[in-house]
Structure 1
């Protein structure tokens, strides 16, 4: 991996694919998209906590995509961008942590009745997968936030 510090500390263009923490955009897309599709494909009961999980996964997926394209296009060359990078990833960590805890709680409740029906058991298994993916995405965003903070501090 190349050094993540160059100029103001943020890469542009294809350097996004070679610097740490920016290479983490790719697994954030993949696992965030998996959370989104797994939660969207399950039976939504209760609707309110699952709605929060969907909001977080869609919001972070769309905003990470925009953030990634800002980096690719090189529009991130101002002095404020390293701080914004840290702030966004910290907010994503807080959002995903809250969503993954809520999703885990709903999955535990669903699991109490999972043996009653094969359909509920299938939904339960999908929710377990979504919980695991949500925790993985939380970890990825956390690592990205820490490495972005270190980059910001050194620039």
Structure 2
């Protein structure tokens, strides 16, 4: 299917542009890739603000976008509210933040503790909008036991 010749015998060119973690830079990056460089599809956006920033660009250019990082339920909600406008947007990973805590706790219980026997773990949280829902839900789920929240963000 995919090889040195491209995908399904079609040429493939991979280009990139830095969103710098801001909505305005994401719009500029999307515009450069689609309007100026002729991209047929885009893949990416890890922060909610960058993903939200390009939603209207995706709709206006009708360019397929595969979201691979931003997990805010509001993004899928925007698609659901106006599907005809935002139908080129697809979340392929990760699951949205509403299910993240349950899946993280299942992983911890079944693999980290169950299979590996780990007794301590640290979860690093970026200062992204969608992660604001995660820390309180984790604290509630573990009863606040030894649970601290320290945020960090970095975009390069």
Q: Normalized per residue, which structure has more strand?
A: 2
**Which has the higher Rg, Structure 1 or Structure 2?**
2
Q: Normalized per residue, which structure has more helix?
A: 1
Q: After TM superposition, is the score higher than 0.5?
A: no
**Under a length normalisation based on structure 2, what TM-score does the superposition of the two structures give?**
0.24
Structure having greater relative contact order (Cα 8 Å, sep ≥ 6): 1
**Under a length normalisation based on structure 1, what TM-score does the superposition of the two structures give?**
0.25
